[in-house]
Structure 1
Amino acid sequence: MPQTQLIRGLAAGSILALASAAPALAQDCERGTLDTMFCDTDGDLVADAPAEELQDPGTLVFAYTPVEDPAIYEDIWEPFIAHLEEVTGKDVQFFAVQSNSAEVEAMRSGRLHIAGFSTGPTPFAVNLAGAVPFAIMGSEDGEFGYKLQVYTRKDSGIETMADLKGKRVAHTSPTSNSGNLAPRALFPELGVTPEKDYEVVYSGSHDQSMLGVVAGDYDAAPVASEVVDRMAERGLYDPEEVKIVWESKPFPTTSYTYAHDLDPALVEKIKQAFFDFDFTGTALGEEFDGVSKFVPVTYKDDWAVIRDIQAANGVQYTPEGLAAEK
């Protein structure tokens, strides 16, 4: 399939339109919070592989979360994609997604097979698209995670979280964990409640929040540490102009997932490609400083804290909930 036609197909459609057809595909089974398209008979909170109609595509489509400029990441992921092709024996197409919603929609419709979903949208991908998280970037000793950090300019006059009262604060997007949901769940205990004590302005992404703080468009912003660290390494802002007011304990980072309906033999090759990949000397290793390999994770255990934060915010894993991300 030509690249332009493939990408056009991935970007097309709406998850709301897909959801309207879901009742016809509903299955009579245990599923917890999963969409009616899926079953979860073993209680691991992710979709079971179907008994029939497994996918074994000639071309695998891979996407990485749209946290920053997706064009940058196509080159960065090139060595891994070459490795994935070698291990699976398949052609692999990188899909530069423009939004979390588009990424979830693409996997739900069967046009996206392997994807990195950012922390907050991962539960939407699991529940609406049948994504199965299995890996995360980690250190040699298997550690992983990032922190929620609250940044402001050094000359802002903001020294504590209480100083955010009456200010204009950038959140990233409604479904973002560190950029919106975690602040709403955690900040009240720190003496400041979003919307009530300060004005929330959605910037669209972590990098836009950070750049807005530097430019003075926002008084402060809660952002993911891994994103702003990479921005600083690329010289996108001067760390000397900003300061951290508060930071959290670590959260899980981007989840790497496969579509639940892929052939099990193919899934094993995909996992092998991830867990055997050597970051050393690659653009991927240079971009993601501090990580050296992919480590195994499970959605049930490693995303429990994220589900708790989202529950505290009244998040429901529905098409309407995901639509708020657009």
Structure 2
Amino acid sequence: MHRFPRSLTVLAALSLLGATACASGAGESSDEALVFAFPPGADDPEQLSQIQPVADHIAEAAGREVTTESPADYMGVVEALRQGHVDVALLSPFATAIGQEAGGLDVGLVWEAGDEPASVLLARADSGIETLADVEGRQVAFVDPGSTTGHFMPRALLNEAGLEAETDYEMTFAGGHDSALLALDQGGVDVAATAAMLMETFTEAGLVDPDEVVVLAESDPIPVGLTIVFSEDVDPAVRAGIVEGLPELLAGDESLAELMGGETAIADPDEEVFEPLLDVASSVGLDLEDIR
């Protein structure tokens, strides 16, 4: 397990379709382009603009052209990797942990997480919901079943408060962090979960008015940050080029100063790195045997 220094901040994985990156300074290659995938997220142009530079840097590190895809959800990325339809992906910590546990994933890099709260649970200020205990009997919008900050971490908060999904409250998956907040604003749900680090962005965009919402709780920090994951069919030389070269390329790109999370990129992490995430997944009722 090797480490590369870098100070970055977690960003929700985001969608972008059809872009192509060409290797720059790494030598031209006639080999087939790599397919780079990432899960869906908010349709925020500023956030989306950070994905293409990652694709560009992967292309440079690999010495290959790169095309980008965004499957429908987090676990769709995992399945695309497992089936060999995608070569390399940017993936959330929990989706990585679950996918690795199920088998068929090759985790090349994981960024250590920061020490800020990972998630928040919000209610409308006029709803009468002021504490986690008040969530009983209500409807909660999570983001995606494979979302770290939009599902596992906030759901664990509710579990710690003695509230079990579909027993003590109803849950739904909105499909995106922004969609969860829109559902809350429009009265479709009583409580919404989202990434804490996105609150400032959503406030500036007018999606959240701090005077109109109540923060019910904040979660602990994420144990680890985002990952770069490979299909097991990827050329070992291409994989090695990305693992060795990508951390430095990302570290030198000021436009990505808030992308990956934490101080350090860990190469070829041991499975033990993800055990705290699997513990949280089990605590919210996910049967890991069901995903094998």
TM-score (normalised: structure 2): 0.74
- Asked if 2 retains the 8 angstrom alpha-carbon contact of 1:207 and 1:228, the reply is no
More strand by percentage? 2
Does the alignment pair 1:277 with 2:246?
Answer: no
- Describe the shift of the 1:97–1:231 C-alpha distance in structure 2 as closer, same or farther (beyond 3 A): farther
- Describe the shift of the 1:258–1:276 C-alpha distance in structure 2 as closer, same or farther (beyond 3 A): same
- Asked if 2 retains the 8 angstrom alpha-carbon contact of 1:185 and 1:309, the reply is yes
- Asked if 2 retains the 8 angstrom alpha-carbon contact of 1:161 and 1:245, the reply is yes
Q: Out of 268, 287, 295, which is 2:265 matched to?
A: 295
Highest RCO, 1 vs 2 (Cα 8 Å, sep ≥ 6): 2
Amino acid in the other structure paired with 1:197: D
Q: Report the counterpart of residue 232 of structure 2 in structure 1.
A: 260
Partner deviation per Cα, 1:50-75 (whole Å, 9 max, x = no partner): xxxxxx95311111221333987664
Supply the RMSD in Å over aligned alpha carbons. Answer: 3.3
Please state whether the residue corresponding to 1:255 is helix, strand or coil: strand
Q: Report the counterpart of residue 150 of structure 1 in structure 2.
A: 121
Q: Out of 6, 20, 41, which is 1:67 matched to?
A: 41
Does the alignment pair 1:116 with 2:54?
Answer: no
Please state whether the residue corresponding to 1:112 is helix, strand or coil: coil
Residue 229 of structure 1: CA displacement?
A: 4.2
- Describe the shift of the 1:199–1:77 C-alpha distance in structure 2 as closer, same or farther (beyond 3 A): closer
> 2:38 and 2:180 mapped to 1: Cα distance?
20
- Asked if 2 retains the 8 angstrom alpha-carbon contact of 1:135 and 1:296, the reply is yes
Show structure 2 runs of 5+ residues with no match: 1-16, 19-29
Amino acid in the other structure paired with 2:213: V
> 1:290 and 1:201 mapped to 2: Cα distance?
27
How many correspondences in the alignment? 263
Show structure 1 runs of 5+ residues with no match: 1-5, 8-55
TM-score (normalised: structure 1): 0.68
Amino acid in the other structure paired with 2:62: T
Q: Out of 265, 279, 285, which is 1:308 matched to?
A: 279
Please state whether the residue corresponding to 2:94 is helix, strand or coil: coil
Computing the radius of gyration from Cα coordinates, the structure with the larger value is 1
- Describe the shift of the 1:65–1:202 C-alpha distance in structure 2 as closer, same or farther (beyond 3 A): closer
- Asked if 1 retains the 8 angstrom alpha-carbon contact of 2:74 and 2:147, the reply is no
> 2:274 and 2:117 mapped to 1: Cα distance?
13
